[in-house]
Structure 1
């Protein structure tokens, strides 16, 4: 719904404005000596991810007040997650931090995922207690019976004669216990923001106050262009100064009350147009002044909770660290899950790494330490699960959201994750009591209710034996007593080997595919294809490259491969014999180019046995257009390569074939060839990727395409060898196999597109005698599975082959 306006009283109405030009720095900004006429300045102080760390807020408040006192127009905003991280706040379900932020005169809060941690009743109570606005534009309360009411998407603030719109976004889905968000749906960030574009016309300054993370903030800035700034949270990113993304400054101030962000919006005095945004971070540790009224609240709650939180429950000589938890089991994870196993009397216990919020240093362990590492008051539940279900959970834990990292600490169970060279999951081995678990055997499993009820996407498939047996903190207190009873320290090794990741050894092969000449090499490449499986054999000239390269993109659409031919009888007969082996019963021949490229005698020879179609144009450019129509008659995107050289086209053709994207050849050293211009217009091409640098395809060609409304991108390196690496990075980032062809002479790579297509691998380029330095440095130290060297030693030397053979192990 549309919101009304709030009026904020100016802190310094009528005071002369200071200059808007600042020098960024972590300790503060330096104002210019001269006052800048004709502008107004809006000061926006901001925090995010306070996480209940209230102790620095006395100093932060004094700093914020001083900055606001010295500003003509000012606001204080927080980008969410004020709860969860300090037992003083968490045991009182957020009351202290809300009281403090009220005293600090916070204007608006972006609802963060941890605002739901204490449950829906507490959320509603704390929102009611707040003097500031709780905002979220992508949060929809769909069940009106829950305690939480629909938040406003934005608020408009009137600061004297300056109006500021603040719209907020919440993490989707929020990382919190599922019970906290029952009856609530969360929507797409960009779509939600675009619904409120109309606010832009109602305000002078429009700010997105988000709790979605720095990466999502950057994506938002790329898609939504009407915000004057994005002030973010969630990722705990320390941005010493705003980062400009698509013309929008993006700011974030770390976490845990360690920084206060300070932004200055410079506005035209008459029109109130935003002329610029500058900012910096002020660290709170170096501040010396304290707001006594805020400090009094902090001291009150600290004193109130001190007796409980300072109670010693044990001591540790080793400390209990969480460091390394994404690669292995760790000391704190082992103590944690041992506590769950002891308290729940199960076979196996799990806890998720995201719930382990801090480490415990060597020395006495207090209840306050336990509440710090586990601030969420998570309950424990018990499942009965099969070994198969446990396998599924372990696989999901490692692979979820594409993270490829350990996410579950464990007791009672040991597991090993097997991965490939890129860290991708292959399989997992699970052991219970030293033996591999049985897929049909059942086990009692103790888990926090956060993951047990579906948090972070987990699905613990099985029977819920006990839905709630007590809190994690209670389990830790109980387990710690066993150490005290035995007069033992709570000591754990850094890791015990409960969890490991093993990279699977590759059976690496280095193969050379070659013939006595380019024609025989194309036949040798065809030997890699199973007989009787192709619908087409594509014939192209072996004495020139354009038709063969453009035709390589036909491999997928025609289910074919390219053979090189000329009018030599032996070469024609050898190609014909190979075609008879490769083609299925209904297979046919496609010839690329006119008779000047592939002589009529070739067509006559193959017509004796096969149906033959010739695809050609008046010249090689028009031939590439004719080929494009066969690659994909409905294409809306294309690749553009140089007609003056072969190397760049050779690199992109396998990917183009796989995705049925035509490859068009440009023969103009200043702009776009006429035939390509006509094709792009008549075909309705929407996007084009130019492969190669400006020396290959001139910038003028890109400009012409852009002027036609085509979205244009260029993939290239400093030379042909680096361009091939750029293609690999852009289109084959996970590939562990590749073909290697001579980048200075075209023949041996002409027929390789089918091989590369079948193996989903790129073609990299080399010099004949040695690998270019940039190619060698890229390959050195990288894992590879298969390397195919294309052509004989005259194309790719023995020294290069020895380089790879030496790296097989």
Structure 2
């Protein structure tokens, strides 16, 4: 039996969290050899970080270039938080191949900067097929003039094309652990799935239907490492195992990466110094009380969406605005979230249940992680065109819509935030049949527009 070993280093969901990045890169550079690969599984970029915001993600690509990544797929943060043109240009200077089997232009063609898969041969002769796929946020991609297709079907087609040509089949997946497990079950011929999106920490990986699934948490908390022993005669995997490397155990940092981060931070600070407004007074922000800044943003959100009523949690603003000049950097620091405006249609009954839920202690103090939210807690719900009367225990007693009692049977159109449509936060909004997303503008773009309009 002729067995050769290959090693795959992998990162996922860095989300522009660079605290450990120089350590991870140093380790990869020190240990990588001609029989190993380094791949990234998407969401390396996150517009909550000034570098990503100022460079439209190009800074992230520079960091991946320096790290020596050879293949990458994209996550939703690359795919749907940048405009069509920004994503189309994002990988112009990439020194690695982007792999996405289920992304197309609106006309059904593959973007010029992607391939569905690649076949890589290591020095010891092992042929590896790497297939990329990303989460299918269909409506978002459609509004950004892309076409996203069901990933499992796309991966299955690629596996059928490459299985007989290679020794190992690896999927670079930004689908999440549960979809990865489904993939392992329904598509034969996959040896390893390197996963992302759900931020799972799989210390030794997870085996499903003979397929090894690996994932390394988020924010650079770990570096993933998969070793694969390949029988070249039978073109089968003789053994494979996954492990996670904790950067806390590493000492050395990569000097070139540190220098690049320093330069990118300087460049970003300059780029975000653009003047937005000149405030004649302090605009306070409070997460648990009504405040002027939060009310201005809620009113602006409602106006932007061309609606009469709107609602959003106060926790989307993180910092008070001081008197004097306001720059893009100030707005970004206070409102860093990659959150889009959204309009939903709700019955009066659904709207009332949502408002009641918003005043619960659970929601006001929820330290939300995910759905685009990059704050501390959700905080109090702020309203435009909606008056809510509370008793001394802050329980909802009455709701007025544009000065009239809420009608449980009427349908209302509300300006709000896209993050409420994704899951468990406000079930009535998530279940709404009609939702309209405003893209590519983010919530902070709306705030900048309104501050500049009032106090240019």
Question: Which TM-score applies when normalising by structure 1?
Answer: 0.42
- Which residue is 1:80 aligned to? 42
Matched residue count: 406
Note the C-alpha offset of 1:392.
Answer: 6.2
1:634-673, aligned counterparts within 5 Å? Answer: none
C-alpha separation in 1, matches of 2:440 and 2:63 = 34
- Which residue is 1:437 aligned to? 406
- DSSP-derived class of the 1:234 partner: coil
- Which residue is 2:392 aligned to? none
C-alpha separation in 1, matches of 2:173 and 2:440 = 36
C-alpha separation in 2, matches of 1:396 and 1:197 = 47
- Which residue is 2:443 aligned to? 472
Structure 2: stretches of 5+ with no match in the other structure: 357-362, 372-377, 390-397, 422-428
1:672-691, aligned counterparts within 5 Å? Answer: none
8 Å CA contact 2:100–2:116 kept in 1: the answer is: yes
What are the superposed Cα offsets for residues 717-748 of structure 1, whole Å, 9 maximum, x if unpaired? xxxxxxxxxxxxxxxxxxxxxxxxxxxxxxxx
1:150-165, aligned counterparts within 5 Å? Answer: 151-160=114-123, 161-165=125-129
C-alpha separation in 2, matches of 1:456 and 1:115 = 23
Note the C-alpha offset of 1:286.
Answer: 4.4
Which structure has more relative contact order (CA 8 Å, sep 6+)? It is: 2
Residue range with higher mean Cα deviation, 372-381 or 118-127:
372-381
* CA spacing shift, 1:58–1:396, aligned 2, 3 Å: same
- Which residue is 1:255 aligned to? 218
- Which residue is 1:169 aligned to? 133
* CA spacing shift, 1:188–1:158, aligned 2, 3 Å: closer
C-alpha separation in 2, matches of 1:231 and 1:299 = 30
8 Å CA contact 1:47–1:79 kept in 2: the answer is: yes
Note the C-alpha offset of 1:230.
Answer: 0.6
- DSSP-derived class of the 1:128 partner: coil
* CA spacing shift, 1:92–1:456, aligned 2, 3 Å: farther
C-alpha separation in 1, matches of 2:333 and 2:102 = 30
- Which residue is 2:6 aligned to? 42
- Which residue is 1:340 aligned to? 298
1:244 paired to 2:207 = yes
C-alpha separation in 1, matches of 2:290 and 2:35 = 48
- Which residue is 2:160 aligned to? 197
8 Å CA contact 2:129–2:169 kept in 1: the answer is: yes
8 Å CA contact 2:199–2:218 kept in 1: the answer is: yes
- DSSP-derived class of the 2:85 partner: helix
Question: Which TM-score applies when normalising by structure 2?
Answer: 0.71
8 Å CA contact 2:132–2:172 kept in 1: the answer is: yes
Note the C-alpha offset of 1:439.
Answer: 6.3
C-alpha separation in 1, matches of 2:11 and 2:4 = 23
* CA spacing shift, 1:284–1:338, aligned 2, 3 Å: farther
Q: 1:130 aligns with which of 94, 117, 130?
A: 94
* CA spacing shift, 1:215–1:447, aligned 2, 3 Å: same
* CA spacing shift, 1:53–1:194, aligned 2, 3 Å: same
8 Å CA contact 2:195–2:214 kept in 1: the answer is: yes
What are the superposed Cα offsets for residues 545-589 of structure 1, whole Å, 9 maximum, x if unpaired? xxxxxxxxxxxxxxxxxxxxxxxxxxxxxxxxxxxxxxxxxxxxx
8 Å CA contact 2:83–2:440 kept in 1: the answer is: no
- Which residue is 2:143 aligned to? 179
- Which residue is 2:394 aligned to? none
8 Å CA contact 2:337–2:443 kept in 1: the answer is: no
- Which residue is 1:411 aligned to? 383
- Which residue is 1:224 aligned to? 187
- Which residue is 1:121 aligned to? 85
8 Å CA contact 1:172–1:186 kept in 2: the answer is: yes
Note the C-alpha offset of 1:390.
Answer: 6.2
- DSSP-derived class of the 1:208 partner: strand
C-alpha separation in 1, matches of 2:104 and 2:23 = 36
What are the superposed Cα offsets for residues 99-126 of structure 1, whole Å, 9 maximum, x if unpaired? 1111212111122222222111111111
C-alpha separation in 1, matches of 2:61 and 2:435 = 39
C-alpha separation in 2, matches of 1:105 and 1:332 = 48
8 Å CA contact 1:113–1:174 kept in 2: the answer is: no
What are the superposed Cα offsets for residues 679-738 of structure 1, whole Å, 9 maximum, x if unpaired? xxxxxxxxxxxxxxxxxxxxxxxxxxxxxxxxxxxxxxxxxxxxxxxxxxxxxxxxxxxx
* CA spacing shift, 1:129–1:389, aligned 2, 3 Å: farther
Note the C-alpha offset of 1:319.
Answer: 7.3
8 Å CA contact 1:168–1:210 kept in 2: the answer is: yes
8 Å CA contact 2:348–2:410 kept in 1: the answer is: no
- Which residue is 1:63 aligned to? 27
- Which residue is 1:99 aligned to? 62
What are the superposed Cα offsets for residues 592-625 of structure 1, whole Å, 9 maximum, x if unpaired? xxxxxxxxxxxxxxxxxxxxxxxxxxxxxxxxxx
Q: CA RMSD in A?
A: 4.9
- DSSP-derived class of the 1:305 partner: helix
8 Å CA contact 2:41–2:174 kept in 1: the answer is: yes
Note the C-alpha offset of 1:197.
Answer: 2.4
Residue range with higher mean Cα deviation, 268-277 or 215-224:
268-277
- DSSP-derived class of the 2:55 partner: coil
8 Å CA contact 1:336–1:476 kept in 2: the answer is: no
- Which residue is 2:250 aligned to? 287
- Which residue is 1:561 aligned to? none
Note the C-alpha offset of 1:288.
Answer: 2.0
- Which residue is 2:262 aligned to? 299
- Which residue is 1:775 aligned to? none
* CA spacing shift, 1:265–1:361, aligned 2, 3 Å: farther
* CA spacing shift, 1:377–1:91, aligned 2, 3 Å: farther
- DSSP-derived class of the 2:15 partner: coil
8 Å CA contact 2:222–2:245 kept in 1: the answer is: yes
1:52 paired to 2:5 = no
- DSSP-derived class of the 2:92 partner: helix
What are the superposed Cα offsets for residues 278-328 of structure 1, whole Å, 9 maximum, x if unpaired? 1221233443212222222111111122367699999999974xxxxxxxx
- DSSP-derived class of the 1:303 partner: helix
- Which residue is 2:310 aligned to? 349
* CA spacing shift, 1:271–1:469, aligned 2, 3 Å: closer
1:268 paired to 2:227 = no
